[in-house]
Chains A and B, each alone.
Chain A
């Protein structure tokens, strides 16, 4: 049973618009959440994280929102650019350091010019 789920396998967005990627989790012990981005033929790279003591974290065009009561987080990319086209993985950790990660299945984002 997957503890971290990304229910949308793919998402297509027009350049300049907002991309919203969603992630749900079931384990209430998770206290640290991360998003990774993966291009083909490369390893995942860290994008942004959020601790459970916060409900929002922003880094440039990327914002992660956490709703603990709903066990839901989302990644917003504004404005979306063609270079953002990649697979995005949501990950969660119960060790508050991001070492032991449980990953979601990934969402493939395509940003059309």
Chain B
């Protein structure tokens, strides 16, 4: 079974802090994704990566950046956290098929 692990289940940060969300997958998948889930809006794609050191913007990249130095790890960075980035963040990986998701990180920015 594919395992996608997000390092934190819950995170509380202050406005203006730099925040790192980490994601690791164990199935050697090429593709990795970061989504955020908000009530009524479903899941929206922030960034994705098809290979090491490669990144592409999704639908809502503003205020975020990513890093993929190793194939199994994809990090989401909030350069300066703001209250409107309070959300559930979901990492996913795939190899040409349906996405496999981690359990999510609920981030609260106060």
Q: Using a CB–CB distance below 8 Å, which chain A residues touch chain B?
A: 2, 4, 6, 9, 34, 36, 41-46, 49, 89, 91, 97-106
Contacts and interface: CB of A to CB of B under 8 A. Distances in A.
A49 B41 contact: no
B103 A99 contact: no
A41 B59 CA distance: 24
Contacts of A4: 42
B97 A44 contact: no
B11 interface: no
B96 A97 contact: yes
Interface string B56-72: 00010000000000000
Contacts, number: 59
Interface of A is mostly: loop
Contact of A45 (B31, B94, B101, B104): B101
Contacts of A97: 96-97
A15 to B, nearest CB: 27
A89 B104 contact: no
Given A43-B103, A43-B104, A98 B97 contact: yes
